[in-house]
Structure 1
Amino acid sequence: MNTLSRRGFIAACAATVGAAQMPRLASAQALPPIALSAASRTLEIDGRAATVFGLAGPGGQGLVLDPGQRFRVDLTNDLDVGTIIHWHGQIPPNAQDGVPDMPMPLLSPGETRSYDFEARPGTHWMHSHVPIQEMQLLAAPLIVRSQEDLAADRQEVVLFLHDFSFKSPDEVLADISGGHGGGHGAGHGADSGAPPEQGMPMKGVGAVPGMDHGAMSHGAMGGMMGNMPGMGGMMGMGGMAMDLNDYNWDAYLANDRTLSDPEVVQVERGGRIRLRVINASAATVLWIDTGGARGRLVAVDGHAVQPVSGTRFGLAMGQRLDIEIDLPNEGGAWPILALREGARERTGLILATPGAEVRRIESVAEVEAPAFDTDLAQEASLIALDALPDRPVDRSQMLMLGGSMQPYVWTINGSVWGRHQPIIARSGERVVLSFHNMSMMGHPMHLHGHAFQVVGLNGRAVAGALRDTVYVPPMSMVDVALDAGEAARWMLHCHHMPHLATGMMTEFAVTALV
């Protein structure tokens, strides 16, 4: 079998991120801009039609760039509402980062905007930075291949994961927050006397129509969370109850499909696979279970780590995993499942050799999956292959992560977006940020414009992974180190969309050295 077919681009990448662009290494730098469209599309989900959003490239949802190819994209908004796209995992100039009004406004319907910057290799993704649009699946894979990927000669399979509701995002958020105004008590900075622009997230970034943050009382959530399906919790942290899931979604999608009609990826006997996993869920932490196909975790968030062997690896919203799998030299089918933490729901795809029997897999397992990494054991096992250079720390900053289910408001350093105090640094400084989670929900914290290294877990120094999104479990602390980049305002926020929508965002304000 020739090299290109062995990589399985037609069988794997075309079906998972749209038809991948075949290698054009000699002309990678001279390629014209890629046309990318934010547009509506229709999916069939468990027999029901659903109108959602998407990001369509030349061959389908998502983009694949060749080694050395610049990110040259003409993005057109074919929706009837304004939007803007963030290139999650990339470090573009700040003006191209994709956050509303920081500094560029939303793209109006019909508008086209050009992007041009050096692409960072790895498994990344792109999504709207309007939370309700991301919940409508306005997101897609962004894979940037390296020369090492070519030399490895592995079939690449992308697993793009979503949670989904047939309800509108406004309805989902209203369900989560109680669905009514309640009283006029204060809660985590959202007191009733505050002007809306102070107590609510920025328009386009976190503002959610129909949600009156200032009117949420301490009792507005009373009784609702205990009766509402999806409020998964488990005892931990010294007997306190952790809140694992705050919504029961209608479906959990793997490459836009459920296990009632999963994608079947054709593989070879003895196939060598690189599985690129992206958790694009709004509010669901997932375990990846490779079952009988034992894997090696070789990269997180697009950055290589010392390989970790196993069959189950977890990832929070916004995070990515690269898992190498060497299949046995025999025919068969190997399900790759994504399990919802603290629950029985699951989704996934199936790797199968030609002619293999593919059995139906139920979308609900017999037992609940455990909570993800409450002891930070998985994070502690990750060691960067390309660590930050040693140098003195110029600046340290503690970020207290807080909030509650009653009322449903989430904060950084006690404040919601609009009342936040920026985290300040100067360009070129070595900065350590300490995320201290004092709430009973985990928070995947994402920093724009930078890659950071995990250097501390609950007070213990580690030489951890390079990342752009780190999961901070309840009642835990994670330290990350970074070198401050371009002088600009960079977003720093929780990637749990309902948390972001209720204010869990601040900014990393970098100023120029003088």
Structure 2
Amino acid sequence: FMYHAHVGVQLDRGLYGPLIVEPRNEPLAYDGEYTLMLDDWRDGVDDHADHGTPAGEGVAQPDLDPTDVVSFGGRAYPLLLINGRPPDDPPVLQARPGDRLRLRVMNIAADTGFRFAVAGHRLTVTHSDGMPVEPVTVDALRLGMGERYDVLVDAVQPGGAWQVGVEPEGRAGWGRAVLRYSGSGSSGPPAVAERPVELDGRLLQYADLLAVEPLQLPAGAPDRLYDLTLTGTQIGGQSYPDANPLPVTEGEWVRITMRNTSSKWHPMHLHGHHFQVLAPGGRGPVKDTVAVPARGGEVTFDFLAGNPGRWLFHCHNHHHMEDGMLRLVEYVRR
């Protein structure tokens, strides 16, 4: 999990951190672990988040078909960080040949979706948003803001230093760490801008993820349905703080369908609950954040209303949230 501010530009200024809940009995075997927090960072910002559509919002790179461009945001950030460190001073991950590392990769950025890969190595995904999935091996991850993945990396190389690269979806930029094998002597790190070819390899998709522990839904049909259109400023045609709450009742099976009519992907996050992404076979991943593709993309999820209170449901692009993409899920009596 992650903890972070939801007010003004406190997230942009670094008010966040990881929160790791260890199981009583760890089912995974590995030799070491690292937590990697991917961030966009702006210096000299004022006390208010940007509002309104920035210049170039929704405009794709001129040499690409706009429908092929994945973009989560449109703000300019001078630095992309891993664990608070810039590309010219990267964090270093240590491994010995034959080791297996667990990487907990988290996107805490305000406005940037990332693609993540490790040069010369593959990634075996074991958890999504803290929930176990059937292991699946890929070359690269795509993380919307707020999403987290646990991956295992086998140190299959004989030695050396290998780039751990992140690049933003839909715009220029670069962040990195370095995976260094012990006993590599004086071998230098990769060049700052050296890009892992794995970033263009097999990319993890939600369809690859099968829940180890699917939600135990009752027989029949959902008790409550919501069909919500997403724009850059509204959820279901309403903007916070004027939006009506979305009522649910304790014990209900709730299904939410989201359709994105905007030019940006929206990573949608529900507080206080995990939900299951609807997929053939009923074993879609159990998550708390899911990215809804732009230009007509659609995602449906189910959750069991078992945590009474008033909970935020919002786009995890901080600027979209500030512009109104936030609703309250409110428990009510029958």
TM-score using structure 1 length: 0.59
Using the alignment, how far apart are the partners of 1:418 and 1:171 within structure 2? 17
- Indicate yes or no: 2:96 matched with 1:268: yes
Whether the aligned pair in 2 keeps the contact of 1:344 and 1:366 (CA below 8 Å) is: no
- Indicate yes or no: 2:192 matched with 1:362: yes
Using the alignment, how far apart are the partners of 1:166 and 1:418 within structure 2? 29
Using the alignment, how far apart are the partners of 2:281 and 2:66 within structure 1? 24
1:400 deviates by 1.0
- Cα separation, partners in 2 of 1:348 and 1:231, compared to 1, 3 Å: farther
Q: Which has the higher contact order (CA 8 A, sep 6+)?
A: 2
Using the alignment, how far apart are the partners of 1:384 and 1:131 within structure 2? 35
Aligned to 2:215: 388
SS in 2 for 1:143: coil
- Indicate yes or no: 2:80 matched with 1:252: yes
Using the alignment, how far apart are the partners of 2:209 and 2:108 within structure 1? 22
Structure 1 unaligned segments of length 5 or more: list them: 1-123, 179-223, 404-409
Using the alignment, how far apart are the partners of 1:433 and 1:135 within structure 2? 30
Using the alignment, how far apart are the partners of 1:329 and 1:167 within structure 2? 42
- Cα separation, partners in 2 of 1:149 and 1:258, compared to 1, 3 Å: farther
- Cα separation, partners in 2 of 1:381 and 1:131, compared to 1, 3 Å: farther
Aligned to 1:463: 283
Match of 2:306 among 485, 493, 496: 485
Using the alignment, how far apart are the partners of 1:507 and 1:296 within structure 2? 35
Aligned to 2:32: 155
Of 245-254 and 355-364, more deviation after overlay is shown by 355-364
Identity of aligned residues (%): 31
Using the alignment, how far apart are the partners of 1:363 and 1:424 within structure 2? 49
Aligned to 1:337: 165
Whether the aligned pair in 2 keeps the contact of 1:260 and 1:363 (CA below 8 Å) is: no
Using the alignment, how far apart are the partners of 1:471 and 1:448 within structure 2? 15
- Indicate yes or no: 2:267 matched with 1:444: yes
Using the alignment, how far apart are the partners of 2:152 and 2:273 within structure 1? 26
Aligned to 1:144: 21
- Indicate yes or no: 2:225 matched with 1:225: no
Using the alignment, how far apart are the partners of 2:129 and 2:92 within structure 1? 25
Paired letter, 1:135: D
1:464 deviates by 0.8
Using the alignment, how far apart are the partners of 1:171 and 1:425 within structure 2? 33
- Cα separation, partners in 2 of 1:366 and 1:282, compared to 1, 3 Å: same
Structure 2 unaligned segments of length 5 or more: list them: none
Using the alignment, how far apart are the partners of 2:230 and 2:4 within structure 1? 24
SS in 2 for 1:334: strand
Aligned to 2:10: 133
Whether the aligned pair in 2 keeps the contact of 1:446 and 1:492 (CA below 8 Å) is: yes
Deviations 1:63-103 (A, max 9, x none): xxxxxxxxxxxxxxxxxxxxxxxxxxxxxxxxxxxxxxxxx
Of 443-452 and 348-357, more deviation after overlay is shown by 348-357
Paired letter, 1:454: V
- Cα separation, partners in 2 of 1:242 and 1:263, compared to 1, 3 Å: closer
- Cα separation, partners in 2 of 1:335 and 1:490, compared to 1, 3 Å: same
Paired letter, 1:501: E
Whether the aligned pair in 2 keeps the contact of 1:488 and 1:510 (CA below 8 Å) is: yes
1:277 deviates by 0.3
Deviations 1:31-73 (A, max 9, x none): xxxxxxxxxxxxxxxxxxxxxxxxxxxxxxxxxxxxxxxxxxx
Paired letter, 2:228: L
- Cα separation, partners in 2 of 1:259 and 1:232, compared to 1, 3 Å: farther
Paired letter, 2:224: R
Using the alignment, how far apart are the partners of 1:153 and 1:298 within structure 2? 12
Aligned to 2:249: 426
- Indicate yes or no: 2:143 matched with 1:315: yes
Using the alignment, how far apart are the partners of 1:231 and 1:338 within structure 2? 22
Aligned to 2:43: 166
Match of 1:235 among 52, 65, 68: 65
Aligned to 1:505: 326
1:358 deviates by 3.1
SS in 2 for 1:273: strand
1:462 deviates by 5.0
- Cα separation, partners in 2 of 1:493 and 1:396, compared to 1, 3 Å: same
Using the alignment, how far apart are the partners of 2:321 and 2:194 within structure 1? 29
Aligned CA RMSD, in angstroms, stands at 2.7
Deviations 1:365-385 (A, max 9, x none): 599x78x98xxx701111100
Paired letter, 2:22: R
1:171 deviates by 6.9
Aligned to 1:196: none
Using the alignment, how far apart are the partners of 1:330 and 1:270 within structure 2? 9
Using the alignment, how far apart are the partners of 1:430 and 1:171 within structure 2? 38
Match of 1:399 among 201, 217, 228: 228
In terms of Rg, which structure is larger?
1
Paired letter, 2:56: M
Aligned to 1:84: none
Whether the aligned pair in 2 keeps the contact of 1:162 and 1:253 (CA below 8 Å) is: yes
- Cα separation, partners in 2 of 1:324 and 1:412, compared to 1, 3 Å: same
Using the alignment, how far apart are the partners of 1:484 and 1:259 within structure 2? 43
1:411 deviates by 0.6
Structure whose residues are more often helix by fraction = 1
Of 241-250 and 258-267, more deviation after overlay is shown by 241-250
Paired letter, 2:276: Q
Using the alignment, how far apart are the partners of 2:124 and 2:312 within structure 1? 32
Deviations 1:439-469 (A, max 9, x none): 111100000110000014xxx6752100000
TM-score using structure 2 length: 0.89
Using the alignment, how far apart are the partners of 1:485 and 1:401 within structure 2? 25
- Cα separation, partners in 2 of 1:317 and 1:261, compared to 1, 3 Å: same
Deviations 1:278-320 (A, max 9, x none): 1000010001112211120111100011111111111100000
SS in 2 for 1:500: helix
- Cα separation, partners in 2 of 1:328 and 1:143, compared to 1, 3 Å: same
Paired letter, 1:380: A
SS in 2 for 1:134: coil
